[in-house]
Chains A and B, each alone.
Chain A
Amino acid sequence: MNFPDNARLLQLAIATPLVSALVIALGRPKRHALKLAAAAFALPALIAIRLWAQFPAGAGADYQFASRLDTGLAGFGISLQLGLNGVSMPLFVLAGIVGLAAGLYALRSGAERLKIYLLLLLVMQGGLLGMFASVDLFYFYFFHELALIPTFLMVGVWGGRDRNYAAMKMTIYLTVGAMLSLAGLIAIYVQSGAQSFDLVTLRAELAAHPLPFTVQKHLFGLLLFGFGTLVSLWPLHTWAPLGYGAAPSSTAMLHAGVLKKFGLYGLLQVGLPLLPQGAQHWAWTLALLAGLGNVLGLGFVTMAQRDLKQMLGYSSVMHMGYCFLGIASLSVIGAGGVVLLMVAHGLSVALLFQLATCIHHRTQTFDLTEMGGLARKAPVLAAFFAAAIFASIGLPGFANFWGELAIFVALWKFSPWITAVAVAGVVISAVYGLRAAARIFYGPPSEAFQRAAAAQPPADLDWKERLPALLLLATLLFIGFWPRAVSDAADAALRASLPAVVPTATVTFHR
């Protein structure tokens, strides 16, 4: 029917950044490298949007656009299987769009040794796209690591303050998390008896012969703390603010926006469907850690930050708490809310990290107390930042609103007390978000800023900075006004994949 068909397009989307990275590594002229990189960031985003438009909403948990490649380990039940279902489709789009925005921003960032920086970003982008399109759990992990390794290098080489320490700490924490989740995945592979890493086979096998409760308990524990470290579950979160504070902007955009969703996605696609009883066993622990630790505890920590980037890092960790709460609610609404919030948070946090760097270029500082009055010089930047903050708080009209709303609705059934804590978190994020916006853009400018502005008046956002920001904001608003673009497919997939042990709610919130 189409040229080329959608399964091929999916393969193409993942291969393009990786192959381009190889070409850039071997090729010489820098001029062509920039053009090639731009194309390699744009193509996957376009393909992602096309696939999104063609995705059949009622597909359920079945994988669309599926393809399979044998790499030589078929005997172990490992083969490169690609496909998208209702949960992975929105996240694939997220990876495509945030990747494009981060790439466009990086192209004009004027970083030292730009070619290698772009190369690493492309490898990361390829890994991110592959991660969400993998049906095979081995490749799911494999692509995650492929995306993770470049971050360490990028933080260490192109990072800001404390970059060496931050890179080392990130590497060690994230390796621990990755190894724990790998152990969990291998354990599922061996214990299920399916002799396969194929998620579809595993689901069928474990639906027919569920694992005994004690095994599920241990395996879900492994996955929870492995994935939890990667998503920065309290108290395993300390790498995140430090890492994001030091990371160059495009890396922070891709890591906080997309890569970090790996753990949540893993819990949704692997943990809940395959180990429902284990999930039930851990639900309260998770709810308490996420509710009291991430949302409330780290919410207050976020309020106390003076450094803009640290604040964004902490707020990103705090918002991960909502996603964990949605998973802990063990319901389709909650899980659907997590999918929406993952996409929304990914877009908004990427936007915030990009704008933070734009602000830094104009004020030469990340210290909130040394800023002020920037709105007069850069009104467009102020408008973008305010919109991003509103989105991050969860105001209606932005995608975040629907995600948080669905999670709160689901949580009410789980525990009204935890819901109250979660709602209090919204107030907290409003306090620090609005206060940050006020300090940066309004009020009297600080002396240091005045002096710097007198020497070289700060310009408003130019089009190179506006384009990525506009891309992210438009997607946020689109999903904010039309959440069914995400939730229809996600609901269908979750309803089919979450077993009966997980109480399925009868209401879907948006109809």
Chain B
Amino acid sequence: MTTDLLQAAAASNHWLAIAPELILGCAALVLLVLEMALPREQHGWIPRFAVLAQTVVLAGVLLNFETRWLGETTFGGLLRHSLPGQIGRVFFLLSSLLVSFLASVCLPRTRMPRTEFYHLILVVTAALMLLAQSNSFVMLFVALETVTVGFYILVSYFRDNPLTLEAGLKYLVLGALSSAIMLFGIVLLYGAVGRVTGADGAVHTGFEFGTVATFLQNNPGNFLATAGALLVLSGVAFKIGAFPFQIWIPDVYQGAPTPVTAFLAVASKAAGFAVLLTLVRNVFPPLAGVLVPVLSLLAAATILFGNLAALTQRNTKRLMGLSGVSHAGYLLLGVGASFTVPWAAGAVWFYLFTYLLAAMAVFGVMAYCAGADDTAQDLDAYERLAKDQPLLGAVLAVGVGSLAGIPPLAGFLGKLLIFIAAFEAHLYGLLAVAIIGVVVSIYYYFGWIKTAFFVDWHPPGTTEPPAFSRSAPGWVGAATLVLLTLATVLLGFYQAPLAGWLALK
């Protein structure tokens, strides 16, 4: 290794290009300092500082959306700044902000320390943002591991609850397994590609996306590389919870604290799809002949499994988990279509944003309806919700309706765009499966609304229904929930802002 190479690498280190991630990382450290420096009665400022940092970064990213690094690679080709990367940044910041909001509802109920929770959220968000911009398998793996390690802690955060500990253990074991599988795939790809000297004399390794793509282009039938690609995708499938890698989902979703469940459901899943889209669009197009059937099969099985398994769930966290599996299936449909229909990638992001709005609204209601035991959130606890707390009832109805894909809510448009993309990609069989899935999903989604809205018959003598440990949202909570709900409704009627921004069509 010569110093020239190091200097060349250093010359491409544009620290400003990753300012958002750096600010988040620094803010995470400041949180720890604040906890030591501030007197105990002023610790309430710590979450506020975390939220402030995220808001500032989000505003910065939005204001500087078309950065001057757009289309360029930095840090010796580790990162690539692109429009999807920017969209990913905004997405992850939005979801982490909402997770912070959920945490502010849930954490005070326990005796667990708070500072570390926000610290981890900030670190994980920074890693997620880097993940969406990674241009090399090394960066991809490191960022993904940072996310996963953060989640190991977050999932088992309420460590006095046995179910939470079980969830943490399951996530640890299966997460490590998936990381190992992915790493093996990366190594196989590296082994197949090796080191390549480019036209300009620079040495490229089999870790770089561009190099791998060129290699696959020139050696379409390479077995080692194909096997590597499939293993990498398996690792990603773990993250998004695609069949048959969804096995951890129900238990972990139930055991994890509600904000973490939301973080897993929204941000972790979206991270998987950001990676998947990058790989499918930039690295693996030559393998379309193998990957389209594999992804289609995966999508069909995921949609069917998710919806059928969700039918019998009584615990809302498990329900959200398994219905989330089916959403991963619809999204996979979009990914499969994106091989032939370029705008399908935009449709996947559109879907993810609608999912973010709807799922966060539902998780918000869940956070307010949860009792002392965060893992025991039964459907029965939603009885008479609409009567007792009309606001929560309305938010739940809109959120769940959007998840079910009912017009005029945003979720419907997300599904519609994906379905149109699938039609254009001639994935008819898969589309039929998806439509069956949507119909099945109506049963459990509507069952939830039914519980909350329709007054159930109680046997005489038991006129006094069980007391529910619901808390009414304060004005910040109410405003956040109303905002999410209004966004879901308005996006159903008027899509111009998001559609134009995602450069859909």
Chain A stretch 144-178: residues in CB contact (< 8 A) with chain B: 145-146, 149, 152-153, 156-157, 163-164, 167-168, 171-172, 175-176
Q: Which of A71, A164, A168 contacts B493 (CB 8 A)?
A: A71
Whether the pair B407, A71 counts as a contact (CB closer than 8 A) is: no
| Nearest B-chain residue to A144, judged by Cβ | B407
Q: Which of B408, B420, B497 contacts A76 (CB 8 A)?
A: B420
Q: Which of A72, A145, A183 contacts B412 (CB 8 A)?
A: A145
Q: Which residues of B contact A182 (CB under 8 A)?
A: 416, 419
Nearest-Cβ distance from residue A195 to partner chain B, whole angstroms = 9
Check A447 for interface membership: any CB of B closer than 8 A: no
Nearest-Cβ distance from residue A491 to partner chain B, whole angstroms = 33
Nearest-Cβ distance from residue A229 to partner chain B, whole angstroms = 11
* 5 A/B residue pairs, CB under 8 Å, sorted by A: A141-B407, A168-B447, A168-B450, A172-B442, A179-B439
User: Of A186-194, A432-440, A475-483, which binds chain B?
Assistant: A186-194
Q: Which residues of A contact B500 (CB under 8 A)?
A: 72
Check B495 for interface membership: any CB of A closer than 8 A: yes
In Å, the complex CA distance between A168 and B413 comes to 24
Nearest-Cβ distance from residue B443 to partner chain A, whole angstroms = 6
Known contacts A72-B496, A72-B499: A164-B454 contact under CB 8 Å: yes
Check B176 for interface membership: any CB of A closer than 8 A: no
Q: Which of A72, A149, A152, A179 contacts B435 (CB 8 A)?
A: A179
Check B308 for interface membership: any CB of A closer than 8 A: no
Q: Which residues of A contact B432 (CB under 8 A)?
A: 183
How many residues belonging to B are interface residues under a CB distance threshold of 8 Å? 39
Whether the pair B497, A186 counts as a contact (CB closer than 8 A) is: no
| Chain A positions 58 through 93: 1 when the CB is less than 8 Å from some CB of chain B, otherwise 0 | 000000000000111101100000000000000000
Q: Which residues of B contact A145 (CB under 8 A)?
A: 406-408, 412
Q: Which of B397, B416, B494 contacts A72 (CB 8 A)?
A: B494
Q: Which residues of A contact B453 (CB under 8 A)?
A: 153, 156-157
In Å, the complex CA distance between A456 and B494 comes to 54
Q: Apart from A73-B413, A167-B454, what are 11 other A-B pairs with CB-CB below 8 Å?
A: A72-B497, A75-B505, A76-B417, A76-B420, A149-B401, A156-B454, A157-B453, A168-B447, A171-B442, A186-B416, A190-B423
Q: Which residues of B contact A71 (CB under 8 A)?
A: 493-496
Chain B stretch 442-475: residues in CB contact (< 8 A) with chain A: 442-443, 446-447, 449-450, 453-456
Interface residues of A (CB under 8 A from B): 25, 70-73, 75-76, 138, 141-142, 145-146, 149, 152-153, 156-157, 163-164, 167-168, 171-172, 175-176, 179-180, 182-183, 186-187, 189-190
Check B504 for interface membership: any CB of A closer than 8 A: yes
Q: Which residues of B contact A168 (CB under 8 A)?
A: 443, 446-447, 450
Nearest-Cβ distance from residue B453 to partner chain A, whole angstroms = 6
Nearest-Cβ distance from residue B350 to partner chain A, whole angstroms = 10
Check B438 for interface membership: any CB of A closer than 8 A: yes
In Å, the complex CA distance between A190 and B495 comes to 21
Check B487 for interface membership: any CB of A closer than 8 A: no
Chain B stretch 226-258: residues in CB contact (< 8 A) with chain A: none
Q: Which residues of A contact B309 (CB under 8 A)?
A: none
Whether the pair B442, A76 counts as a contact (CB closer than 8 A) is: no
Check B424 for interface membership: any CB of A closer than 8 A: yes
Q: Which of B397, B417, B431, B498 contacts A183 (CB 8 A)?
A: B431
Among A70, A71, A180: residue with most chain B CB under 10 A:
A71
Nearest-Cβ distance from residue B398 to partner chain A, whole angstroms = 11
Known contacts A72-B497, A145-B408, A167-B450: A190-B424 contact under CB 8 Å: yes
In Å, the complex CA distance between A149 and B489 comes to 14
| Chain B positions 299 through 315: 1 when the CB is less than 8 Å from some CB of chain A, otherwise 0 | 00000000000000000
Q: Which of B423, B455, B495 contacts A186 (CB 8 A)?
A: B423
Q: Which residues of B contact A156 (CB under 8 A)?
A: 450, 453-454
| Chain B positions 396 through 432: 1 when the CB is less than 8 Å from some CB of chain A, otherwise 0 | 0100010000111000110011011001100000011
Whether the pair B505, A76 counts as a contact (CB closer than 8 A) is: yes
Known contacts A72-B494, A153-B453, A171-B446: A146-B408 contact under CB 8 Å: yes
Q: Which residues of A contact B455 (CB under 8 A)?
A: 157
Whether the pair B420, A190 counts as a contact (CB closer than 8 A) is: yes
Q: Which residues of B contact A157 (CB under 8 A)?
A: 453-455
In Å, the complex CA distance between A82 and B214 comes to 50
Q: Which residues of B contact A180 (CB under 8 A)?
A: 435
Known contacts A145-B408, A190-B420, A190-B423: A152-B446 contact under CB 8 Å: yes
Whether the pair B450, A149 counts as a contact (CB closer than 8 A) is: no
In Å, the complex CA distance between A187 and B423 comes to 7
Q: Which of A142, A167, A190 contacts B408 (CB 8 A)?
A: A142
Nearest-Cβ distance from residue A70 to partner chain B, whole angstroms = 7
| Nearest A-chain residue to B415, judged by Cβ | A182
In Å, the complex CA distance between A164 and B442 comes to 15
Nearest-Cβ distance from residue A355 to partner chain B, whole angstroms = 27
Whether the pair B420, A186 counts as a contact (CB closer than 8 A) is: yes
In Å, the complex CA distance between A76 and B421 comes to 10
Whether the pair A179, B438 counts as a contact (CB closer than 8 A) is: yes
Q: Which residues of A contact B505 (CB under 8 A)?
A: 75-76
Nearest-Cβ distance from residue B492 to partner chain A, whole angstroms = 8
In Å, the complex CA distance between A180 and B419 comes to 13
| Nearest A-chain residue to B435, judged by Cβ | A179
In Å, the complex CA distance between A192 and B439 comes to 26
| Nearest B-chain residue to A152, judged by Cβ | B446
Known contacts A145-B412, A149-B401, A157-B454: A72-B424 contact under CB 8 Å: no
In Å, the complex CA distance between A138 and B435 comes to 17
Q: Which residues of A contact B435 (CB under 8 A)?
A: 179-180, 183
Whether the pair B450, A175 counts as a contact (CB closer than 8 A) is: no
| Nearest B-chain residue to A138, judged by Cβ | B416
| Nearest B-chain residue to A176, judged by Cβ | B439
Among B407, B438, B450: residue with most chain A CB under 10 A:
B407
In Å, the complex CA distance between A237 and B416 comes to 27
| Nearest B-chain residue to A149, judged by Cβ | B406
Nearest-Cβ distance from residue A81 to partner chain B, whole angstroms = 15
Q: Which residues of B contact A167 (CB under 8 A)?
A: 450, 454
In Å, the complex CA distance between A179 and B498 comes to 25
In Å, the complex CA distance between A163 and B500 comes to 43
| Nearest A-chain residue to B442, judged by Cβ | A175
Whether the pair B407, A146 counts as a contact (CB closer than 8 A) is: yes
In Å, the complex CA distance between A192 and B453 comes to 42
| Nearest A-chain residue to B397, judged by Cβ | A153
Q: Which residues of B contact A76 (CB under 8 A)?
A: 417, 420, 504-505
Nearest-Cβ distance from residue B363 to partner chain A, whole angstroms = 22
Q: Which residues of A contact B419 (CB under 8 A)?
A: 182-183, 186
Whether the pair B420, A142 counts as a contact (CB closer than 8 A) is: no
In Å, the complex CA distance between A20 and B319 comes to 35
Q: Which residues of B contact A75 (CB under 8 A)?
A: 499, 504-505
In Å, the complex CA distance between A189 and B431 comes to 15
In Å, the complex CA distance between A146 and B412 comes to 11
Known contacts A152-B446, A171-B446, A187-B423: A70-B454 contact under CB 8 Å: no
| Nearest A-chain residue to B456, judged by Cβ | A164
